[in-house]
Amino acid sequence: MSKVLQTLYASAPTNDLPIHTLELQAPSFGVIRVCSGYDDVTAGIEDGEMVDFEACALGVSLPERSVKGRQDLQFQLDNITGESLQVVETAFEAGDKIKVTYRVYTASYLDEPGEQTFKMTAVSVKANALRVNVVASFNDLVNAAWPTDRYTPDFAPGLKYFS
């Protein structure tokens, strides 16, 4: 976490605010970048590139810090125009994985994210006429099978001769 964000959280100055951003990426729609607030923002991402984030009514619920196997990030997007629902549903119907990247910036320092970015995959979508709710999750490493390669007769044909 950068010193700017630490100062913001510790002292809560009235002239500086955190700006929450989401980047949604899928083959069916490309990349969509949105930010909380009323004004569009140009900010730097991890590789130093400056990108534009479109202002949106955005609500974010961060994953809790625990030892549970699955950590979820929940967020809501404005669906007044219907565009959010159309884009997300098209991706899910096409079977695309929607990659979600969460970044937080401060209004006074937009050159880089103020803390570590979260990269997840969308696992569920619920929508109504007003909003689209999306749940994104990290890989569940606690409950993942190990080794990841399973030794079956399809993978290792010689196994079918052992009983």
For residues 49-58, give the mean pLDDT: 90
**From CA 57, how far away is CA 74, in angstroms rounded?**
14
Most confident region among 38-42, 122-126, 152-156 by mean pLDDT: 38-42
Sheet of 18-26, strand order:
41-44, 50-56, 30-36, 18-26, 99-106, 118-127, 131-137, 72-78, 58-61
Q: Which of 43, 59, 34, 62 is nearest to 120 (CA)?
A: 62
Whether the predicted pLDDT of 74 surpasses 70: yes
Q: Is the pTM of this model over 0.85?
A: no
The confidence score (pLDDT) of residue 68 equals 64
The tokens describing 148, both together, are: 């990841």
pLDDT band at 144 (very low <50, low <70, confident <90, very high): low
Q: Which of 97, 102, 5 is nearest to 46 (CA)?
A: 102
Q: Tokens 């050159």 map to which residue? A: 111
Q: Which of 22, 47, 44, 54 is nearest to 111 (CA)?
A: 44
The tokens describing 131, both together, are: 């909003």
Lowest-confidence segment of 9-18, 52-61, 109-118 by average pLDDT: 9-18
Tens of pLDDT, residues 21-47: 999 888 888 888 989 888 999 999 988
Fold classification of 3-142 (topology level): Pnp Oxidase; Chain A (2.30.110)
The confidence score (pLDDT) of residue 140 equals 58
Q: Tokens 């625990």 map to which residue? A: 66
**From CA 58, how far away is CA 104, in angstroms rounded?**
13
Q: Tokens 């569920």 map to which residue? A: 124
Average pLDDT, the chain: 81
Whether the predicted pLDDT of 87 surpasses 90: no
Q: Which of 16, 21, 13 is nearest to 37 (CA)?
A: 21
In angstroms, what CA-CA distances link 102 with 40, 57, 86?
16, 15, 21
